């Protein structure tokens, strides 16, 4: 049995197509098919359901696939452990983040790169459900998501910060110079919000429901960049987590004020609760614990944030 056979198997499960899996693995389709058949012969069980096209795995194949994923993850951890003995952690940090945390992920990955310059990084924008699925399938190392979710039981959870929700506006004059605003009053403004299926939008909708208010949503988008653009250039308003204020430059012509009563949600890192834990995951957890994201984001509200200059 060769490691590449297990890699072919896991890739086939992900791509669900022999030709695409072969292309990803940089081999011909006949070579990949032969490797899978050889693995079946060696183990004495049928792994893949045979047909004119890929039809999935047999029940036995699904169990073997789980072992293949664990074996490859363990091998990667072994390589990382060996690199750590040389004080040069290598490999790839695979991180999945919910869309509203993507603008601040670089605060973590940047610190990781400073400490471990030979560590490559793959950052993907994913839903919480997809992050959990990929962690279980050993396709991710860590995820960044909301922590108020019963489905996270069984995962290792590391809180990072409490996000607080703000009203984003073109300028303070449009709000009559207010220093805070109620949800019911905000609901009457023309709003650009993230799309309804997104987890962040469900949180914002809950804030309006708590105030017995129906928001005046005129534009929906799945992009945090588009939210900023519509507030800045289309005369709309939005409700955003205060962590996003690091993306939206709050110059004289942009302002964010707190919504009352305050709405907040906990954001953190999740990973598999395995022991031993891979060196990449351990390193990421340790670095995340040293970054005070809460103080950084709260400074946007208090007005004490000082932008980092090239001399810092």
* 312 vs 101 pLDDT, higher one: 101
Contact 32, 18 (CB under 8 A): yes
Range in 21-30, 152-161, 192-201 the model is least confident about: 21-30
Question: What letters, b where the CB count within 10 A reaches 16 and e where it falls short, cover 56-82?
Answer: ebbeebeebbeebbebbbeebbeebee
Averaged pLDDT, 199-218 = 95
Q: pLDDT value at position 308?
A: 43
Average pLDDT, the chain: 86
Cα distance between residue 311 and residue 115, in whole Å = 19
What proportion of the chain, given as a percentage, has pLDDT over 90? 43
Q: pLDDT value at position 35?
A: 87
Q: Among residues 64, 65, 90, 88, which one has the least CA distance to residue 76?
A: 90
Alpha carbon dihedral 141, 145, 150, 153, in 10-degree steps, equals 30
Q: pLDDT value at position 249?
A: 57
Confidence of residue 248 (pLDDT cuts 50, 70, 90): low
Range in 18-27, 178-187, 194-203, 211-220 the model is least confident about: 18-27
Interstrand relation of 155-169 and 191-194 (parallel, antiparallel or unpaired): unpaired
Q: Indicate if the pLDDT at residue 310 is higher than 60.
A: no
Q: Indicate if the pLDDT at residue 312 is higher than 50.
A: no
pTM tops 0.85: no
What proportion of the chain, given as a percentage, has pLDDT over 70? 92
Averaged pLDDT, 37-60 = 85
pLDDT digits (tens, 9 = 90+) for 102-120: 989 999 999 999 999 988 9
Q: Which domains does the chain have, with CATH numbers?
A: 3-77 (1.10.10.10), 91-312 (3.40.190.290)
Averaged pLDDT, 48-64 = 84
Q: Among residues 183, 177, 156, 171, which one has the least CA distance to residue 231?
A: 171
Q: Indicate if the pLDDT at residue 215 is higher than 50.
A: yes
């Amino acid at each position: 049995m060769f490691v590449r056979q297990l890699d072919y198997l896991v890739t086939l499960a992900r791509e669900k197509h022999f030709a695409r899996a072969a292309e990803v693995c940089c081999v011909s389709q006949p070579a990949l098919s032969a490797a899978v058949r050889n693995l079946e012969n060696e183990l004495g069980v049928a792994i893949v359901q045979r047909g004119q096209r890929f039809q999935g795995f047999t029940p036995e194949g699904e169990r073997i696939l789980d072992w293949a994923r664990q074996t490859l993850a363990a091998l990667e951890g072994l390589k990382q452990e060996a690199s750590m003995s040389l004080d040069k952690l290598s490999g790839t940090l695979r991180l999945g983040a919910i869309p509203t945390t993507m603008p601040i992920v670089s605060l973590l990955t940047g610190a990781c790169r400073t400490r471990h310059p030979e560590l490559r990084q793959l950052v993907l924008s994913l839903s919480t459900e997809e992050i959990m699925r990929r962690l279980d399938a050993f396709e991710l190392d860590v995820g960044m998501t909301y922590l108020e979710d019963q489905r996270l039981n069984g995962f290792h959870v590391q809180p990072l910060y409490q996000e607080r929700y703000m009203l984003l506006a073109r300028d303070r004059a449009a709000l009559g110079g207010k220093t805070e605003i109620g949800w019911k009053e905000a609901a009457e403004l023309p709003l650009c919000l993230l799309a309804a299926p997104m987890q962040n939008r469900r949180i914002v909708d809950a804030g309006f429901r708590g105030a017995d208010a129906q928001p005046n949503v005129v534009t929906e988008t799945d992009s945090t960049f588009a939210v900023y653009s519509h507030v800045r250039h289309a005369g709309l308003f939005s409700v955003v987590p205060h962590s996003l204020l690091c993306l939206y430059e709050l110059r004289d012509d942009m302002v964010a004020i707190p919504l009352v009563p305050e709405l907040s949600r906990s954001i953190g890192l999740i990973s598999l609760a395995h022991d031993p834990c891979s060196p990449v995951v351990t390193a990421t957890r340790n670095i995340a614990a040293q970054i005070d994201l809460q103080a950084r984001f709260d400074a946007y509200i208090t007005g004490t944030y000082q932008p980092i200059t090239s001399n810092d």
